[in-house]
Structure 1
Amino acid sequence: MKIQDIDKDILSSFRKGCVIPAVPLALDEKRKFDEKHQKALIRYYIDAGVGGLAVGVHSTQFEIREHGMFEQVLSTVSAEIDSWASGRKILKVAGVCGKTEQAVREAGFAVSAGYHACLLSLAALKESSVEDLLSHCRQVAAVMPVIGFYLQASVGGMVLPYEFWREFATIPNVLGIKMAPFNRYRTFDVVRAVCDANKENEITLYTGNDDNIVPDLLTEYAVSSGNEVKKVRIKGGLLGHWCVWTRKAVELLDEIHALLDSGKDIPHELLTRGIQITDTNAAFFDTANNFAGCIPGLHEVLRRQGLFKGTWCLNLQEVLSPGQYDEITRIYKAYPHLNDDAFVSEHLSEWLK
């Protein structure tokens, strides 16, 4: 599958910049796949106005592969998107990981299940050379369009140098890059590499920096490349943070796009809201405990809204950290304007049918 095979409206939405939540996994109290609540979650995202969904990624729990759930989860979500979208076109992104044989196999399945692109994790190749990493990426990109993924080290990623991204950007069939190193220096490495490869008009940049969402989306990069200065923006977000309070995320991105199109000055309030979102993310992602509770933290928000029955994870060790429940309660009280509980409450019974 090639980029040109993607529906033109879906591709246009991705290029403009859209909200792409990293989809969590719904489990019941026996830690079995909860199809009813998984479908409710997908319906929520679609009705909230997302432009895409990423499944089989970190928020979906990489352990779905060990538990034989990878194909089931991806197939269920893909079918539910088709069923619920009612003519709306949603980009389907499949998380692909593992060494080359596994990654190519997962990409092949994703194509057969109706996915348009894969988010390619390199976490399993930490000991590989840059050239071996690039060879791996080329083999997956031969199967389907690839979104590159700079994953932060705290949750399994590694430092990927400018030289890697400079060559990665030249690989045919690269649709975009999700930058999530949680590090401004390394984020800039990617932007500069794409510009130096002359791919800034072909590779769309998305933030995965959940700690810096608003500044990432507001900033115009002016990169000296060759004999010119190239102006580049991060267009949208493919974020774990945006898998909760998603309606507000859609409204935020629409607001930012409208502001940038208008040419008006950035209001101070928007920057203040940005740091409030960062504080919120600290509670969800459990930064106080080096991200140990990041997945159950997201589940807890969905549980409070009624979209999930509990916070269970496939890994029995993944639970809310001490004090994390209270931190989530604190940010609920501190920033009521950031949640979309009223929107969820209005539609929950319909989504759970």
Structure 2
Amino acid sequence: MPLNRSDLPSDVLDLLAQGAVIPAHPLALDARRQFDRRRQRALTRYYVDAGAGGLAVGVHTTQFNIRDHGLYETVLRAAMEDRDAWTSRPMAMIAGLCGATAQARAEAGTAVRLGYHAGLLSLAALAGQPEDALIAHCESVAQEMPIIGFYLQTAVGGPVLSSEFWRRFASIPNALAIKVAPFNRYRTLDVVRGVVAARAEDRVFLYTGNDDHIVLDLALPFTAMRDGVPVTVRFRGGLLGHWSVWTSAAVRQLAQVKAVLAQVGGRLPPELLALDSRVTDCNSAFFDVANNFMGCIAGCHEVLRRQGLLEGIWCLDPAEGLGPGQAREIDRVYLEHGDLGDDAFVRENLARWLD
């Protein structure tokens, strides 16, 4: 049966409204590039124990071509089973949805059947189509389950979307949130303007996917005008591929931002603002910015491999791996920003997660 926003558990809605760390779940493979169930389970346990507020599965970081390998339902089921077996606390479970309308609706049906709360809806397959067609697609998929809009950066196939598109998207009754990930401040503001114009700022939650400005997105207010009056909104949390690594540190960073914002009249300290550039520098290595994001998935795998969570950096596509010089950049980040990581946390728990 279709799932509506009103059907969602109140504790999940409260969690999303308050803001959470939601890592994009990677895919664990063995040396034969076959699904590694044991290490996939270890990753889920890691994210739960790190304090993540949810999991996004079947998304870009999970590798979109799991669909071509018949793994979509397998990885969604694994994450749900492993989460349920490891914790009883509420977590927002988000399934990646992609492809043309029939495929996206079918994937939404699978996600609902497995117990997922919302679908992160990629529009990459519809790039080049008019916005009327994109809105019709979103409205159709939203008939199956609550949807999270996804402003994907153009470097990896996302279409450019206007503020009017986001106004119309935010007006869809079953729209739950938007992952804002154009890696572009002008386009980020287009989303804010659209949500404010739809009068949906309290209903459609903004989550950053801008891995190049994570801390600033979380810390700064965003203001748009409506009827001549300024309306200020904030990003509640993040749904990020970057947060698939060093996750417990990300949880601490979000808590730090929330604590500062909760202070009456509190000012953002310079060291918190400066943290944005350090986190962005880490992301430049993990996402292989020097090679136009060629190694963005393999780079996250490499961090998890160094920690022992993954056995290797294998991707489903044998041609996909670290970009030229990316390993040296990750070495540099470890040397310069290792205090932002969580290697000690992983060492203390790895044997338990792999058990």
TM-score by length of 2: 0.98
**Cα drift, residue 296 of structure 1:** 0.3
Q: Which residue of 2 aligns with 1:278?
A: 280
Residue 12 (structure 1) aligned to one of 14, 39, 48: 14
Secondary structure of the residue aligned to 2:218 is helix
**Equivalent-residue separation in structure 1 for 2:258 and 2:234 (angstroms):** 11
Q: Which residue of 1 aligns with 2:109?
A: 108
Structure 2 counterparts to residues 14-93 of structure 1, below 5 A: 14-85=16-87, 87-93=88-94
Secondary structure of the residue aligned to 2:29 is coil
1:171-225, Cα deviation, whole Å (9 max, x unpaired): 1110000000000000000001000111111100000000000110111122111
Amino acid aligned to 1:75: R
Q: Which runs of 4+ in 1 moved over 6 A?
A: none
Q: Which residue of 2 aligns with 1:201?
A: 202
- The answer to whether the aligner puts 1:325 opposite 2:327 as a matched pair is yes
Secondary structure of the residue aligned to 1:111 is helix
1:83-141, Cα deviation, whole Å (9 max, x unpaired): 111x2111100000000000000000000011000000000001211111001000110
| Alignment root-mean-square deviation, CA | 0.7
Amino acid aligned to 1:19: V
**Equivalent-residue separation in structure 2 for 1:326 and 1:345 (angstroms):** 23
**Equivalent-residue separation in structure 2 for 1:91 and 1:48 (angstroms):** 15
**Equivalent-residue separation in structure 1 for 2:339 and 2:272 (angstroms):** 13
Q: Which residue of 2 aligns with 1:223?
A: 224
Structure 2 counterparts to residues 39-188 of structure 1, below 5 A: 39-85=41-87, 87-188=88-189
- The answer to whether the aligner puts 1:253 opposite 2:245 as a matched pair is no
Secondary structure of the residue aligned to 2:273 is helix
**Equivalent-residue separation in structure 1 for 2:39 and 2:110 (angstroms):** 24
- The answer to whether the aligner puts 1:309 opposite 2:341 as a matched pair is no
**Equivalent-residue separation in structure 1 for 2:41 and 2:161 (angstroms):** 36
Q: Which residue of 2 aligns with 1:339?
A: 341
**Equivalent-residue separation in structure 2 for 1:64 and 1:339 (angstroms):** 29
Amino acid aligned to 1:84: W
Secondary structure of the residue aligned to 1:154 is helix
Contact map agreement 1:196 1:226 (CA 8 A) in 2: no
**Cα drift, residue 280 of structure 1:** 0.3
Q: Which residue of 1 aligns with 2:238?
A: 237
**Cα drift, residue 270 of structure 1:** 1.1
Residue segments in structure 1 that go unaligned for 5+ positions in a row:
none
- When the two structures are aligned, how many residues end up with a matched partner? 352
**Equivalent-residue separation in structure 1 for 2:230 and 2:272 (angstroms):** 27
Secondary structure of the residue aligned to 1:66 is coil
Residue segments in structure 2 that go unaligned for 5+ positions in a row:
none
Secondary structure of the residue aligned to 1:266 is coil
**Cα drift, residue 322 of structure 1:** 1.6
Q: Which residue of 2 aligns with 1:300?
A: 302
Secondary structure of the residue aligned to 1:82 is helix
**Equivalent-residue separation in structure 1 for 2:322 and 2:228 (angstroms):** 51
Contact map agreement 1:296 1:320 (CA 8 A) in 2: yes
**Cα drift, residue 48 of structure 1:** 0.4
Q: Which residue of 2 aligns with 1:350?
A: 352
Amino acid aligned to 1:120: L
**Cα drift, residue 238 of structure 1:** 0.2
Q: Percent identity?
A: 55
Contact map agreement 1:96 1:120 (CA 8 A) in 2: yes
**Cα drift, residue 266 of structure 1:** 0.8
**Cα drift, residue 145 of structure 1:** 0.3
1:199-256, Cα deviation, whole Å (9 max, x unpaired): 1111000000000001101111221111322111011000000000000000000110
**Cα drift, residue 317 of structure 1:** 1.2
